[in-house]
Structure 1
Amino acid sequence: MDSYLGRILKNDLINAYGVTVIPARSVLNAEHLELIRKQRINTLDIVFTDEQPQTPACREMVNGVVEVSKDLFNSFRLTRKVPLADIRKDVVPVVQEISLLPDIFALFEAIQGKDDYTYQHNIGVGVLSTLIGRWMNMGQAELSVLSLAATLHDIGKLKIPSELLNKPDKLTAEEFAMVRKHTIYGYEMLKETTGANSHITLTALQHHERNDGKGYPLGLKEEQIDSYSKIVAVADIFHAMSSKRPYHEAMPFHSIVEQMRRGSFGALDPHVVSVFLENIVKRTVGRDVILTDGRVGEIVYLNPHNIETPLIKIDGEYIDLGKMRDLKIKEISI
């Protein structure tokens, strides 16, 4: 039913008891599809209009909420208080709305950090974490906490000199040790903030912890790490690697997927990684992709044994990436 995403209902969808589940004119999103499954609505009863949904431009939504969050975060420098209530009211609802946009690859492009990385990163990680939470079937109350925790995960960087955060060269050992302290600073800032529960404070502290104990700041392992922190860690890595940053260019799609699978970015929670990557990759069927040799093709079939090496159609020819080690997907077209 993923092909239904973003389409407009012509008629009300009614369940077996005669109750309208989704009203006519609704633009179907992921939550609607889940509702259709749970209510066991016959897909033959679903009729769409030929209209295109009038959704706000994703990039405009992201830019707008980045500016709002930037102002709110910077208010800390004057008041020395985390504006938690304002972020919950003015930022989190937009983060959640962006995460519901039907084309996740257009969404990924819109949230990539480019010019104002620090603040775009906060929103990008908030959106990606919300997506993962929804794919892990979190309830709305849990999802709201996760969105807030993810958006605030790097708030401790407000106490790190901006010239260090934006340094184009490799950090020295002393500078890296200073940047690492943002996890401690964030925890301390949020611990003193009214309304910040343990998931929010621990996410700021633990989003760089890894399952094998090789993360920081405390070297925690597996069950010692907060469950929300594990989700944010995956979103944090994906957004950082897919964004242009002061000291590196954005990585190609295939490299990020492969390296996350291999654990090249540290021992991330395997269940969270699996849910995230499989939900991304299964949405590539029917998409145009740019291969590493420059050719453009369409993904027509996923390899069940390795979904990252699909069957590609190029000008009537079919190419199995599972049999061509040197050919990869460089980019998903939007």
Structure 2
Amino acid sequence: MASLSILEVKPGIKLSKDVHTPLGGVLLHKGTVLLPRDLDILRAFMVQSVDIDNSLPEGSKAVFSKKKVELDSSVAPTQEIVSTYSTLHDEYDKMIILIKSAQQAAIAADLPIYELRNQLDTMIYHIKDYNLLMFSPRSMNEHDYIYHNSVLCALSSYQLAKWIGLPQKDWMQAAFAGLFHDLGNAKIDPTILYKPQPLTASEIEEMRRHTTYGYQILKNVTAINEGVRLAALQHHEKVDGSGYPLHLDGSKIHVYAKIVGIVDIFHAMTLNRLYRKSQSPYMVLEQIHSEAFGKLDPSIVQTFINKVTEFHNGMIVRLSNEQIGEIVFTDRDHPTRPMVSVSGEIVNLTQQRQLYIEEVLSTK
């Protein structure tokens, strides 16, 4: 362990102690392997030196994952033990590859449902490391947007099902609903699906058919329940009956579809796409909140926003004007617009509406 001047700090160095802000919040945690943006944070808070760990190999902290193994007859066959190293990102990347091949083969062959289930189960094992506002793919080809959207919706649907108090047996099925909600895109003409220009009226109609196509593909798939199939069909329905394809009102929309409808909007707007750059997650949450009045289930939306924006004093954020600051107070009536300390001055985002949080850089 050694103390290193900020002038000598380089990306890849691992911290041996927490770094604190002047207000006492944790700026960067012990064990963090510094990235270029972390150096920007340190400079923004005028940190003079950091304690580094030079006794271990550089690299991120390994997270254990489960792996099924053959056990002797005295042990239950379903027992799983920790045996390999992996991270959420590792399992996420594997899930992207698997859902991509599965979706491309969905029309001509049966879905590899048990393989998908095993990989989904392994990925969900790391759910404690999933922060919806901070997680982003390590690499993303914009043509693969639909696959990233599906895997992110699986993770977020699992969490939201848990947050709204659904029984535990529904959590994994809700994750399946998120994973398969856009499966019908496999039957959409790629020239329409990937068209960078605005769609014509007839092309919009064809795109909307992905909901019924998805239900048809899932109709005979085992290991999923009817709610998963209905989520593929209903995730664009609105509680006021203005959605598609069946113009159902809220009482007739399955809860999985309501969950997926919310997280799909979030990820669709916060991922880079061929025709539109990603938007601030906080601005997207504000839009989702406004849509709760008549379009989305208001109670599920409220739970989603409350849980996602569980800000705590000490969280480090980047504002839309590129300034880096520390959250010092959150008004639960305005969960996306807390007070932020920037260079010793308090910025009240409820009053300065032209500013918003662009990114969470570090959690307490």
TM range (shorter): 0.7 to 0.9
> In the superposition, relative to structure 1, how do residues 104 and 184 fare at CA in structure 2: closer, same or farther (>3 Å)?
closer
Higher mean C-alpha displacement, 223-232 vs 70-79: 70-79
1:171 matched to 2:199? The reply is yes
1:63 matched to 2:93? The reply is yes
> In the superposition, relative to structure 1, how do residues 285 and 277 fare at CA in structure 2: closer, same or farther (>3 Å)?
farther
More helix by share: 1
Paired residue for 1:74? 104
**Structure 2: how far apart are the matches of 1:278 and 1:112?**
29
Deviation, 1:176, is 0.8
Kept in 1: contact 2:91–2:123 (CA 8 A):
no
Paired residue for 1:296? 324
Deviation, 1:319, is 1.8
1:322 alignment partner, SS class: coil
Paired residue for 1:106? 134
Paired residue for 2:114? 85
**Structure 2: how far apart are the matches of 1:88 and 1:161?**
28
Q: What percent identity do the matched residue pairs reach?
A: 30
- Runs of 4+ more than 4 Å apart: 111-114
Deviation, 1:321, is 1.4
Paired residue for 1:54? 62
**Structure 2: how far apart are the matches of 1:215 and 1:103?**
29
Kept in 1: contact 2:208–2:245 (CA 8 A):
yes
Kept in 2: contact 1:62–1:111 (CA 8 A):
no
Kept in 1: contact 2:215–2:229 (CA 8 A):
yes
> In the superposition, relative to structure 1, how do residues 307 and 129 fare at CA in structure 2: closer, same or farther (>3 Å)?
same
Paired residue for 1:138? 166
Deviation, 1:113, is 6.0
**Count of aligned pairs:** 281
Question: Structure 1 counterpart of 2:98, which letter?
Answer: V
**Structure 2: how far apart are the matches of 1:62 and 1:271?**
29
Higher mean C-alpha displacement, 265-274 vs 217-226: 265-274
Deviation, 1:317, is 1.6
1:232 matched to 2:240? The reply is no
TM-score (norm 2): 0.71
**Structure 2: how far apart are the matches of 1:264 and 1:166?**
29
Q: Which consecutive residues of structure 1, in runs of 5 or more, have no partner in the other structure?
A: 1-50
2:129 alignment partner, SS class: coil
Higher mean C-alpha displacement, 204-213 vs 260-269: 260-269
Paired residue for 1:222? 250
**Structure 2: how far apart are the matches of 1:327 and 1:254?**
11
Deviation, 1:159, is 0.7
Paired residue for 2:353? 325
1:76 alignment partner, SS class: coil
1:210 matched to 2:210? The reply is no
Question: Structure 1 counterpart of 2:255, which letter?
Answer: S
TM-score (norm 1): 0.78
1:106 alignment partner, SS class: coil
Q: Which residue of 323, 338, 343 maps to 1:310? A: 338
More strand by share: 2
